[in-house]
A and B are shown apart, each in its own frame.
Chain A
Amino acid sequence: MPTLWHTYLRPKTVEEALQMLAEAGEAAVLIAGGTDLMLDLQQGRHPPVQALVDITEIPELRALEIRGNELFVGAGVPLNRVSASPLVREHAMALAEATGQMAGYQIRNVATLGGNVAHALPAADGAIALLALDARAEVASPQGRRRVPLADLYLGPGRSALKHEEMLVGFWLPLTRQKAASAFRRVMRPQGVALPILNTAVWLAREGDRIAQIRIAVGPFGPVPRRATAAESALCGHAPDEATLNAAVEALLREARFRTSRYRATETYRRHLAGILLRETVGKAWERASGE
């Protein structure tokens, strides 16, 4: 096994990290929890690198707090902290549910949301929840900071749109309001790799017995995480009754580009599950949105 990395850098600020990335050029790679990257390096899916830039000691990335009228979740907050956070549970239940189910306890103690998003898998649980919650990613680059909708971060399966010299600082989520709630659910199979066959996150706002606003994210929906907008339209403005839900499932299936993954699930099974999960998550979020 060749040496997987040569230097290990430990910046204390975002600016320092950016500088290290800029100086090293392509030869440096960010490492957060390392739960994807270390395995990719150890198993040869990622070529050895000159430098690893460890971003776990940057306080800004570890912040989880309300800022103004938004919830800020640092890209480097370990998943266990995300799922246990009362703020996340109050304002972003789907994210708490998603991060609470990912991997096992020890992995969640180090794995981060930033890594989950940057790794860019089409069914990454954290990313799917963030998408439904309308999160914006704060990206730091040598040119400065910018906030982008999550969906703009993806180029293709496993390929994020982040440039090499850029990094995720954190995610900005709208605060919850009266009569709004979210939910997440995934289906796994007991054999084979521990990635979901299908997951679904829903956020909705109620107005009386109608859905006033809704966002739905399903993974894997296509090559990159994105929202199921046709299903959203089918539900928006309606009560979630049988007929509306049927129409929404139909819309979702029309829009989705499900694939068969060998040894995991067929397209048919995913199509079937998509309807089940949509009904369950919409139902759950609806129920939650009625409580005070």
Chain B
Amino acid sequence: MPTITLTVNGTPHTLTVDPGETLADVLRYRLGLTGTKIGCQEGECGACTVEVNGEAVLSCIYPAERADGKSVLTIEGLAQKHDHEFILHPLQEAFVEHGAVQCGFCTPGQIMAAHALLEHNPDPQPEDIHHALKDNLCRCGAYPAIEDAILAAAHGLRTGEPPPPPEIPASAYAGKVVGRPHIRPDAVDKVTGRARYTDDLVFPNMLHAAVRRAEVPHGILRRLDVSKARALKGVVAVMTAEDLPAARNHGVLIDDWPILVGVGERIRYVGDALAIVAAEARAIAQEAASLIEAEIEPLPVLADPLAALAPDAPQLHPSGNLLKHIKVRKGDVERGFAEADVVLEHTFTTPHYDHAFLEPEASVAVPTEDGRMEVYVGSQIPYDDRRQVAAALGWPEERVHIVGQTMGGGFGGKEDIAGQIHAALLAWKTGRPVKLLYDRRESLIAHPKRHATQIRVRIGAKRDGRLTAVQTELYGDTGAYASLGEKVMERATTHSAGPYDVPHVRADCYAVYTNNPPAGAFRGFGVTQSNFAVESLMDMLAERLGLDPVELRRKNALRVGSATSTGQVLRESVGLLECIDRVDAEVRRLSEGADPFAPHPVPGEPHKVRAWGFAAAFKNTGLGGGAPDEATAEVELLPEGLFEVRISSAELGQGLVSVLQLVAAEEIGVEAEGVRVLVMDTDRTPDGGPTTASRQTYVSGNAARMAARVLVSALRSTLAERYDVPPEQIQPQVEGLLLGERLLRWPEVAAEMHALGREPRIRYTYHAPETKPLGEGGDMHFAYAFAAQAAEVEVNTLTGEVKVLRVVTAVDVGAAINPLTLKGQIEGGVIMGIGTALTEHFIVEEGRVVTDRLARYRMPSFEQVPEIIPIVVEHPVSTGPFGGKGVGEIVSVPTAPAITNAIYRAVGVRLDSLPVEQEALLLPIALR
């Protein structure tokens, strides 16, 4: 075996490597330098960027033996250690301060690429940064902050001064802590490479797993031969459906998804698992999986909802192919259309989309000595993982311990079970720790997507623009299994008339099983699709009526006192009109008197035409629809005087931990640093419920706040008795409790409590306001977030190329809890919306995934990022934590229609399907 000698971060190493190993393998698995990330193993994402002899390279396609004799710098080598303390490199410091870190998975690669850039070019312009970091993808869309951070660091390095901090205004409702920009608590770990993601974990004696997937979209499994796999040296266990100890199916809402498909059973999509293997090495497990022979009797493929609803279609599930028919009824649409002066109708389609979180799915299951099973995983719903893993093992739930790990993005795609159950089964079978890491292809094929939809909208309006009726019909491709499909399509349907006060609404949605990959939760939760349809038609209506597109929306916008399509009368926190007005004002200011919605050829390049487009949206906060929405949080005063908030809710990169920290700190009266937050652990943190539906700021935020409040009052009353001071005279301070004149520091408070036999710890279950199921009227949701966006595009009328130049985005967030992370959410949401409109197209043909590599599924890179002008609108929710409501999804909903509307305004071509195909856009222009 070859031996290589290389210097890594200044330390020489001589190691033996396996032939075929890459530099990334050596760094991560031999040297334990797991700050270097693997997002694709295809040379596409840049997460694995390191410097070799001073040049940035991709370590995932760099043969290890080539590094022989060279000097390698990784993220771990940037910070300097001085007297046991790490001094961050100015780039790391600037990334932290500017909020350039969200999930953090791309961060090491971004910083290393930036480091190499600054070595060559100490004074880069923004274009230089875009050029040098073009292939460093960030799915969270932190690009604007990354650019600012690099510019600040460069300035710092040139001048020797600390990098200039960002200027981010505080909330109008700011308290002492809440509402002011704060660095997220996990940022330093993420910029130094210390943050641990699941694949970074190593356990003694650990095995590696692989899954044999069907690779056939529809059929009956007739025979499965695992003998060759079993015989392979290094294979420790092979399991098929026959070996399942308990549950045969899993599912978040409906248990319809086979853990393993058995002989004689139905295969419903290419990603169905037929067998699982555990082996001494990942490569062996993968080879073994490929040696498993499956004989599958093919069945006709149901490639879309209409095919699946055909009378003679084979039935995929015992309940049939229709997962759900969802109905929304308000008023009488027939009457509404009769009253209309204009009626327009159009059908829109949207394809599947993949979350493409930069961190592929990974799970490690570890059997413990006391007979339990630990599962290390980045999951959006730890307690539901626990339920499902326990059911698969046939154990009581308490025997399973989900230990959440830092997550490299989720966006809705880590709500379903991925490898958790398979890893646990193999760990149970072998008695050894088992890691199951998906590669990018497996991730693209297996996990649930955003629903592909077909949406027909009919809209009636008076000549002055007042809407009289909206009727919609939606078909949602929910794929092979239910996942969260029913809920997603329900949201699509209830929001399908847009953020407008419409007297008569009728919406029918059919969520249909097909042989495509399952569809489930994806940031926007169905509203992305229906908003594209209705906001496109609203623009068509404005044109037909000769109205300004903003005026039309203003006229119909939901406001306090309006009733939504489901009959909910909005009582407060409806900032839509302000969002519309502020975007309108900003766009008109930028247009300097010209009509922003008219085409403007670029001077000197008349074949390039620019225009603005507009769209508005709303999106529920919380589960709603009558589902009990609750979260339990625990707050404890630790002996060292820190408060710890514990809740199982998930940090996927969005910044929840920071929100919980600030809310608790404000409530208690300490600085942010006085609170730390522990999340995603089913043994140590109580159930915060699923991290979905933009619910965590509100629901978990309230739980943390109330737990903190009750704890403080418990401390007060206990100490009031002990020191004989009236509780009103006990005031929390930053350093401790002030009892009259005397300050008892927090560690002393904790000690006093323990001495008195009282645990300084409170658990509080917060129940969100009750909601009503669809069809019953009343409050379907306890709050909604609102947004308006305008996008300026430039269309090249010779080639069809489209560029988004600027986006103005106003979001009503209730009240901003952490303006720094909020800015990241807003910018990242717009960038994801640009992907929805322009770059992303998940292609499934006859049930087979064509876009099965990251190279074929493109997310926005630095090249696509426009100037983003964020406007925070604050209409507080009285019941929200310090006025806050959910923002995670609304921020990306209106972007796609704003872009396609702008394209129409620029060149007169209406695009009714996503994403924008430049060829399809060009054709009508060229024919003119």
Contacts and interface: CB of A to CB of B under 8 A. Distances in A.
Interface of A: 1-8, 10, 31, 34-35, 38-39, 42-43, 52, 54, 56, 103-107, 109-110, 187, 189-194, 263, 265-266, 269, 272-273, 276
B66 A3 contact: no
A228 B905 CA distance: 38
B65 interface: yes
A10 B922 CA distance: 50
Given A1-B283, A54-B66, A190-B858, A105 B61 contact: no
Given A105-B134, A106-B49, A110-B62, A190 B838 contact: yes
Interface stretch (B52-60, B315-323, B579-587, B759-767): B52-60
B19 A106 contact: no
B919 interface: yes
Contacts of A189: 917-919
Nearest to B17: A8
A39 B20 contact: no
Nearest to B834: A190
Contacts of B405: none
A190 B20 contact: no
Nearest to A34: B61
Given A1-B287, A54-B63, A107-B135, A193 B856 contact: yes
Q: Across chains A and B, which 5 residue pairs bring their CB atoms closest together, nearest first?
A: A104-B135, A8-B65, A4-B20, A38-B61, A190-B839
A214 B855 CA distance: 36
B805 interface: no
A187 B56 contact: no
Contacts of B287: 1-2
Interface stretch (B27-35, B38-46, B389-397): B38-46
Interface in B95-139: 113, 117, 131-136
A54 B134 CA distance: 27
B666 interface: no
Report, as a range, how many residues of chain B touch the other chain. Answer: 35 or more
A105 B121 CA distance: 14
A34 B63 contact: yes
B414 interface: no
Contacts, number: 116
A189 B799 CA distance: 10
Given A107-B43, A191-B840, A38 B801 contact: no
Contacts of A6: 19
Contact of A39 (B42, B838, B915): B42
Contacts of B41: 42
A181 B272 CA distance: 57
B528 interface: no
A107 B840 contact: no
A8 B858 contact: no
Given A34-B63, A105-B134, 19 more contacts: A4-B19, A5-B20, A6-B19, A8-B19, A10-B65, A43-B42, A54-B66, A104-B135, A104-B136, A105-B135, A109-B55, A109-B56, A189-B919, A190-B838, A190-B864, A191-B838, A191-B840, A191-B917, A269-B922
Given A6-B19, A34-B62, A276-B799, A110 B919 contact: no
B56 A105 contact: yes
Nearest to A41: B20
Given A5-B19, A105-B56, A193-B855, A39 B135 contact: no
Contact of A106 (B113, B798, B799, B855): B113
Contacts of A103: 135
5 contacts: A104-B46, A109-B56, A187-B801, A190-B858, A194-B855
Nearest to A2: B287
A107 B855 CA distance: 14
Contacts of B286: 1
A81 to B, nearest CB: 10
Contacts of A31: 63
Interface string B656-683: 0000000000000000000000000000
A107 B839 CA distance: 21
Given A4-B20, A192-B858, A276-B799, A35 B918 contact: no
A182 B18 CA distance: 47
A59 to B, nearest CB: 15
B61 A52 contact: no
B841 interface: yes
B229 to A, nearest CB: 14
Given A106-B56, A191-B839, A3 B20 contact: yes
B2 interface: yes
B850 A263 contact: yes
Interface in B562-606: none
Contacts of A187: 799, 801
Contact of A263 (B18, B58, B843, B864): B843
B755 interface: no
A107 B58 contact: yes
Interface in B130-150: 131-136
Contacts of B136: 104
A263 B842 CA distance: 11
B310 interface: no
A79 B836 CA distance: 32
Nearest to A195: B855
A263 B917 CA distance: 10
A192 B570 CA distance: 43
A168 B853 CA distance: 31
Given A39-B42, A109-B55, A109-B57, A104 B134 contact: yes
Interface string B903-928: 00000000000010111001000100
A265 B919 CA distance: 7
A8 B68 CA distance: 11
A4 B408 CA distance: 29
Nearest to A265: B919
Contacts of B18: 3
A7 B66 contact: no
Contacts of B850: 263
A253 B851 CA distance: 31
A39 B43 contact: yes
Given A104-B135, A276-B798, A191 B841 contact: yes
A4 B20 CA distance: 5
A36 to B, nearest CB: 10
A194 B113 CA distance: 20
A176 B515 CA distance: 59
Given A38-B63, A106-B113, A266 B919 contact: yes
B61 A42 contact: yes
Contacts of B858: 190-192, 194
A201 B428 CA distance: 61
Nearest to B45: A104
Contacts of A104: 46, 134-136
A107 B799 CA distance: 27
Nearest to B281: A1
Name which of B63, B133, B134, B853 has the most chain A CB atoms within 10 A of its CB: B63
Nearest to B858: A191
Nearest to B131: A105
Given A42-B61, A105-B131, A106-B58, A35 B43 contact: yes
A110 B57 contact: yes
B210 to A, nearest CB: 10
Given A187-B799, A190-B858, A193-B856, A56 B66 contact: yes
Contacts of A42: 41, 61
B135 A106 contact: yes
B309 to A, nearest CB: 27
Nearest to B134: A104
Instruction: Identify which of B43, B850, B851, B926 gathers the most chain A CB atoms within 10 Å of its CB.
Output: B43
A86 to B, nearest CB: 15
Interface in B872-928: 915, 917-919, 922, 926
A269 B919 contact: yes
A194 B221 CA distance: 37
Contacts of B133: 105
B902 to A, nearest CB: 16
A1 B290 CA distance: 9
